[in-house]
A and B are shown apart, each in its own frame.
Chain A
Amino acid sequence: KAGVTQTPRYLIKTRGQQVTLSCSPISGHRSVSWYQQTPGQGLQFLFEYFSETQRNKGNFPGRFSGRQFSNSRSEMNVSTLELGDSALYLCASSFGASTSTGELFFGEGSRLTVL
């Protein structure tokens, strides 16, 4: 069974640009959550999508957005990039909504560098 796939794995952008990251969950999983990981800050929750609907959103500015498609694949977009957006963006899938206590399966992440 294929794991969670994130693309691209690495990318470099400049301030003011926008970026779109993609996540394909494990087959059969309907929930996709996104996390930002920075040194010393751990994993900060961005948002969760379940059956194409955003269920929860973390404390991030509106520049961070996402969506989920009917095949459960998800994308997140960051507009008007800032230097502080440099981070590893992790996607996690679960069978049920992550608000239940199901296991999260993480992808390997997309490492974004903003210059």
Chain B
Amino acid sequence: GENVEQHPSTLSVQEGDSAVIKCTYSDSASNYFPWYKQELGKGPQLIIDIRSNVGEKKDQRIAVTLNKTAKHFSLHITETQPEDSAVYFCAAKVWGQNFVFGPGTRLSVLP
């Protein structure tokens, strides 16, 4: 079945710097790749997603890139702010099957 790895497990950046989180997946049939943000005491919330027919997607300060050949996708956050501090989860999905999540990355934005 699908397996999703995520790196790094923890990431600390200075406010205003960029942060990058990378995920790799194993099943080449995966065609949907969402990213979720989980703030302390809250449930995960979708922040951006990308489908396999697209290489990059941006939404203000966040972007996701997908390399289908290498089977990896990345989350990029620019101009980080303290409110970006949270745990981020990537996921991969094959149509007709369930979401498989990565183990998460704890991002800390230092003032």
In whole angstroms, how far apart are the Cα atoms of A63 and B46 in the complex?
Answer: 30
A104→B101 contact, CB < 8 A: no
A79 within 8 A of B: no
**Is A24 positioned at the interface, with any CB of B under 8 Å from its CB?**
no
Query: Count of B residues near A, CB < 8 Å?
Result: 26
How many residue pairs bridge A and B at CB < 8 Å? Answer: 56
Q: What secondary structure prevails in chain A residues at the interface with B?
A: loop
The distance in angstroms between the C-alpha atoms of A37 and B9, with both chains bound, is 15
State how many residues of chain A have any CB contact under 8 Å with chain B.
Answer: 24
B95–A42 contact, CB under 8 A? no
User: In the complex, are the beta carbons of A41 and B31 less than 8 A apart?
Assistant: no
Interface residues of B (CB under 8 A from A): 6, 9, 31-32, 34, 36, 41-46, 49, 51, 89, 93, 95-104
